Structure 1
Amino acid sequence: MCPIWPDLSWLLPGAVLYAEMHYRWWPLPSRYFRKEPEILADAPRRVEPGQPLPLLLLVKDAHRYPIALERVTVEVETGQGRQALPEIAIGSEISDHWWHRSVMLERPFPTGDVSLWVTFHYNVRGKPRTCTTHNLRSLKVRPLRVYLAGESLPGEKVVWGDLHVHTSFTEDMLEFGAPLAATRQAATAAGLGFVCATDHSYDLDDLPGNWRTPDPGLAKWRNFQGAVAALNEQGNGALIVPGEEVSVRNASDQNVHALVLGHPEFLPGSGDAGERLFRTRSELDVGALTQCLTPDSIAIAAHPCYHFPLIQQLLVRRGAWKSRDLQHPGVCGLQVLNGRLDEDFFRGMAEWKDLLLKGHRKFIYAGSDAHGNFNMNRQIRMLFVNLEERTTNVLGTCRTGVLDVQPGDVAGILAALKAGRCIISTGPFINMRLTAEGRTAAIGETIRARKVEVSLELASTAEFGPLAGFRLLRGLVGRGAEETLHEMSFDGERYSAEWESAYELEPGTTYFRAEVESRPPGGTITGLVLTNPIWVESF
């Protein structure tokens, strides 16, 4: 039944989960509504060597619109044509709110790009129907495009992860995510060692299956915690780091988002949920949030410089993180890389460098902000009018690499993230160390010296293109800008490099950091990786 007064979030463009097509508000028609459940297939954008290809088959809202799903056919397309894979027999009457099945496909070819044409054969009210990839109106039919990698993600002694991922515990009138188990399978296949499940605070406090009603008992949040623990106990796959994307108030009393990882209790944040008319003030401000944290949990500013649409600023008071908020000692750093290299990323980098030069020891992090989208980002473009597809904000495409930790160690990963012992990347790898008088400092650490030797280790793969070059940068706290100490370009097909040089330091606090780019010969930049700083005290 349609509500007389809608939730405010119907006015919020820019949702990036799987698109919910059933929500309507009388008397407005919806061009993408249909009397069927949402039906879609999904698969990771890349698959590691030796890994099978997990194919997610998902049906949602069949409790409202039941179907009989008979079978699913899959064709694999390469430059040589299409090849049919064995038929997937289903033969099920589906009337559940959520139904999904993950099918592990053997790699059809050793390496290269493939397209999967996945067709559902089903009956609705006795009428036979088919759909390929999805049944969403206003979108073209496209295959799932998957890269079968011939090499693992680059780098040694690094565990790659996605710091910002939403799952099916996010569900409302506009969007929904993928089941947690399927997310883990896709992340494992893509070569990730961990994913941080960071569903919104204003979704985790809902009654299960009812996004309109808060639940004081927090059954949904407890179910989330239990599901994470159960999956991690299975081993042999990507680790799920339990988290939450909490809406908090910034210094201007606007709503901003914080990624809280490893915290054992629920943290409320509902100011920008759009669930309560004219109630847009979140429960906690940044300072109060950090006071709630345990010694082992961490808080990170999510997409800190994202410019929200004006309508979101006005209706639910969404804004950007202020410098005063980012300086708070309880905030570890900034998730500057959020699904794509765009203006928000470069604004975030400028904010971060300004903080460093002012003496604030903050770190940078990366995540996709994928809302169930393993392969393609399908979302509502204009409410009730049309949908759109994008290749950004896809699981695992923007990664945080944690250094010198053991895979499967939640505590170790959290400790490394908190200490800034990590890099961010869309492709290649870098590690940096500083040595002075027999002592060595790793990324995120501090060393006392008047002269240091900087060593860099760089790596890329054919997937991300050969190394294009690197920059070593230095900042002196109190100065107005960083300086480029060394810049080097590489010619030809070079996929690994090592470099070192010694530097005398003037008195004060100095930091070093490095950036690496990769690109195909004659092409555009396809990969970028940045280190966190190493600080040097030279008094």
Structure 2
Amino acid sequence: MSNGLELWRHIGWLIGFLPIFMYAEIHYRLPFFKGFLYRKQPEIIFDAPHRIESDSLPVLLMIKDANWFPVKLLSVTVKIKSPISGKILSEKSCDEIIDISQKWFVKFYNLDVHSWKDERIFIECQATVQIRNRVITVKNDNYRTASHADFSIFIDSEPLPSPKDWIWGDLHCHSSWTEDQVEFGVPAEAIEPIASSMGISFCTLVEHSYDLDDLDGTWTKRDPNLPKWKISRETIRNLNIQYPNFRIIPGEEVSTDNGIGKNVHMVVLNDDQYYPGEGDALEKSLAKASELYYGKILESVPEKALVFAAHPYADPPFFHKLGLKRGSWNYWDSHRKLGGLQFMNGIMENEYERGKREWIRQLLRGRHSYVYAGNDSHGNFNRYRQIYMPMFCLNEKPTQKFGEHRTGLKAAATEDADSLTAKLKTGQVISTNGPFANISIQNENKREFYIGENVVKPQSISVQAISSRYFGNLRQIRLYLGDLDHRQEVLYRTISSLSSFSRKTVSIPVENLPTSGYFRAEVETNQNKIALTNPIWFTQHEIT
């Protein structure tokens, strides 16, 4: 590679990653410039869940790149504080004396928080470490330009709202196998302790395709033998044995060509094949279209796999369009193996609203497209700390936190990845950032049909809504009718004045229906939290 092309590749990184949504890598440097974020220290990061339903609060300490910058961990102190007065309510100190020289170091500190049920607490974490001959104390993280603010956690006395035979998962997560010049995730073994404390029973690890083919110890060199991808799959298998009540579904977030030369991301779950996607990696060259068109990948995936469009209608920032050739999925993107859309992605803003509109347009064209929810979290259990201006400064926001946007599934947590994936493919799932919603339909023979199914001659529909104090009382239940005869969706029934209810089930007779269509429901709380069901399709005539 010529020096000129190498320089442009570095510049591409600078303009391409504004901003990045994960833990911030501070050790990337240009040949002629280190940047303000660079430090001769490993990244030292504390994190904690934003909400738990347990008496024990797991606090994570992660130290990265100590293989480059060895440290000695001398002590850790975690303080529980009042969010109002800042008064210290409890304190836990641990003397450690641990020499750390590996790339990834993870340790949990568990706090007894049963005294603060249904309350919000702040925690302040401090690590005292020795780096070479210097002793320093790190508060919450050692990032320059970061706020080092305390972590805010709600101690919930209630579980996540749902019937007992449903479980919750996060369908878009990254781990430390997603790692490059400016970003990285959390080691996979650190996920279960936090997820279980939150009431999350499964997650998917969908590492970037351009990271999974990296040569060990590098960010930009590929290894055709795919050792990183193979190790990730083996580790996930072992973790699923180690934690019988928590499941990780292996996956990949593939950078793929959307058909017009732009890079979009597609999640492939539970597939034993690796799919290359380097278009927006900026590893070997400037941005380009990815190697594979999404339709070609979909023709290759096995029936046991689930594939959906990741954050399909997010409008890439200008610099992502310019530096990474990123685009959006469009209305015409369709394939029989493309299971649906993941437009609930940790942010309830334009991406969500546009995604819901486009999903409805697809439904009205007769496509059986399902909604899935995740957060695109890379750790980020409490808030994400991101690169905003590469090499210069960070930004922090309380969004895209692990487990905040959730996929609900009627299943058991002990089921294996194949079984969970098969059930996700049926569409009998809901997406939410708070309450639970479900619908079922009875036909003229009193047989019950559920989300994702097809019913002939529907007679009545049952709508179920559940919330909790944390997510707010039910405000409104909305039942929508999709009329495929006229290609329009109408609000079929609204149930309001529910402010005193956290649980409601209503049965609604149906009449004057079109020849074919669908029903779906939305549930909203007085905390502006919302749940979406996938549709139940119907026809008035027997299917021959």
- Normalised by the length of structure 2, the TM-score is 0.94
Q: Deviation string for 1:149-187 (max 9, x for gaps)?
A: 100000112111000000000111101110101012211
User: Partner amino acid for 1:389?
Assistant: E
The CA distance in 2 between the partners of 1:92 and 1:201, in whole Å, is 35
Question: Does residue 1:109 correspond to 2:111, yes or no?
Answer: no
Q: Indicate how the Cα distance of structure 1 residues 406 and 508 shifts in structure 2: closer, same or farther if over 3 A, else same.
A: farther
Of 139, 164, 169, 1:161 maps to: 169
Q: Residue type of the partner of 1:53?
A: L
Residue 264 (str. 1) matches residue 272 (str. 2) = yes
1:76 and 2:84 aligned? no
Q: Does structure 2 retain, via aligned residues, the 8 Å contact 1:405–1:412?
A: no
Task: Measure the CA separation in 1 of the matches of 2:448 and 2:192.
Answer: 36
Q: Which residue of 1 aligns with 2:421?
A: 414
Alignment match, 2:62: 58
The correspondence for 2:393, drawn from 382, 386, 389, is 386
Cross-structure match for 2:148: 141
Aligned to 1:194: 202
Is the contact between residue 406 and residue 412 of structure 1 (CA under 8 Å) also seen in structure 2?
no
Percentage of pairs with the same residue = 34
Q: Does 1:247 align with 2:247?
A: no
- Map Cα deviations across residues 359-378 of structure 1 (whole Å, 9 max, x no partner): 11101111011011111100
Q: Residue in 1 aligned with 2:22?
A: 17
Q: 1:496 aligns with which of 503, 513, 520?
A: 503
Paired position in structure 1 for 2:103: 97
- The alignment partner of 1:483 has SS state of strand
Counterpart Cα distance in 1 of 2:286 and 2:28: 21
* Cross-structure match for 2:366: 359
Q: CA deviation at 1:507?
A: 4.8
CA deviation string 1:293-344 (max 9, x = no partner): 111101100000011122222232210012222x211100000101111101
- Pairwise CA RMSD: 1.7
CA change 1:456–1:407 in 2 (3 A) is farther
Structure 1 residues 354-403: Cα deviation after superposition (integer angstroms, max 9, x where no partner) = 01111111011110110111111000111222111100000000001012
Find the counterpart in structure 1 of residue 322 from structure 2. 314
- Is 1:465 the equivalent of 2:472? yes
Contact 1:358 1:478 in 2 (8 A): no
Structure-to-structure mapping, 1:118-133, within 5 angstroms: 118-133=125-140
The SS at the match of 2:522 is: strand
Q: Which runs of 5+ in 1 are unaligned?
A: none
Displacement after TM superposition at 1:505 (Å): 4.4
Q: What is the rounded CA distance, in whole Å, between the counterparts of 2:130 and 2:465 in structure 1?
A: 54
For residue 86 of structure 1, what is the amino acid of its counterpart? K
Over residues 432-451 of structure 1, what are the superposed CA-to-partner deviations in whole Å (9 max), with x where a residue is unaligned?
Answer: 100012211101110111x4
In 2: Cα distance, 1:405 partner to 1:302 partner: 25
TM-score (norm 1): 0.95
Q: Does the CA contact (< 8 Å) of 1:10 and 1:173 recur in 2?
A: no
Mapping 1:435-446, distance limit 5 Å: 435-436=442-443, 437-446=445-454
Residue 348 of structure 2 is aligned with which of 341, 354, 365? 341
Instruction: Give 1:406 shift.
Output: 5.2
CA contact (8 A) 1:235 1:408 kept: no
Task: Give, in whole Å, the separation in 2 of the partners of 1:490 and 1:534.
Answer: 26
CA shift, 1:404, in A, is 4.4
Matched, 1:529 2:531: yes
The secondary structure found in structure 1 opposite 2:360 is: helix
Which amino acid is the alignment partner of residue 145 of structure 1? S
Deviations 1:76-108 (A, max 9, x none): 112572134331222022222221212333325
Unaligned runs of 5+ in 2: none
Q: Per the alignment, do residues 401 and 37 of structure 1 end up closer, same or farther by CA in structure 2, a change over 3 Å counting?
A: same
Q: Partner amino acid for 2:489?
A: E
Code of the aligned partner of 1:143: D
Contact (CA 8 Å) 1:122, 1:130: kept in 2 or not? yes
Which moved further from structure 2: 246-255 or 148-157? 246-255
Aligned residue in 2 for 1:221? 229
Q: Does the CA contact (< 8 Å) of 2:405 and 2:433 recur in 1?
A: yes
Q: What residue in structure 2 maps to residue 538 of structure 1?
A: 540
